[in-house]
Amino acid sequence: MTVWLTRIQPDLRHRDARRDLASAVGMHHRLMMLFPDGSGERARQQMGVLFRLEDATSRGSRAPHVLLQSQVRPDLDRLPAGYGHADTRELTPLLDALHDGLTVHYRIAASAVRKSGPTTRAAGAKPVITLTGADADQWWQRQAEEKAGLKLASVHATPLDAARGERSKDKSRIRHTRTRFEGTAVITDAHTLRTTLLTGIGRGKAYGCGLLSIAPASRQAP
């Protein structure tokens, strides 16, 4: 399996770029346009599409950019003319090099939530409670250990603007509160980590949440 990482630097002078950056739904639709048509209702999952918007303050960047991960190489020619600069590289060598005991840098913008109350047929699904502060940190600690095969050595948490947008089909609005977690960790289960890197963590994966990036400690995570 080949995995691709694409970095898109939108040109803020371009109207479509500004509109996409303002809407998680719009960015989702823009990125899905880079992949083959006719993949069905679960196209994002089938092609392993995850993305994360990095703001202008992230690692000294002067402008926001988009990290797009996929198991199908995106067709960057499908971006509108003048939309911005984009390049793609393979992530497969990095995934193949992962092993237990390796120290890595990590970064993820995740929607930390928990469900509250019993689920009954009358009540329907459990309500979702957004987690912030220490509760969000504890959520990430559990996710890292249980679902990502990582033992955290350090954690720096930064609250981010929520992922927002309006679905064109039914005009319903989405909102996913986001926290960026970054730091260092030791791999305890490389197989679990590879699986999670491909599938993401938590809610809102279609809208810029859940993409976990890692890099050996001698380098920085994307």
What's the confidence (pLDDT) of residue 118?
59
Question: Which residue type occupies 13?
Answer: R
Per DSSP, 124 falls in state B
- Among 18, 26, 16, which Cα is nearest to 79's? 16
> Tokens at residue 76, please?
């960057």
**CB-based contacts of 32, cutoff 8 Å, min separation 6:** 43, 44, 49
Q: What is the pLDDT of residues 3-38, one digit of tens each?
A: 999 999 999 999 999 999 999 999 999 999 999 986
Is residue 156 within 8 Å of 59, Cβ to Cβ?
A: no
Q: Structure pTM? A: 0.90
Q: What gap in Å lies between CA 137 and CA 139, rounded to an integer? A: 5
What's the confidence (pLDDT) of residue 120?
45
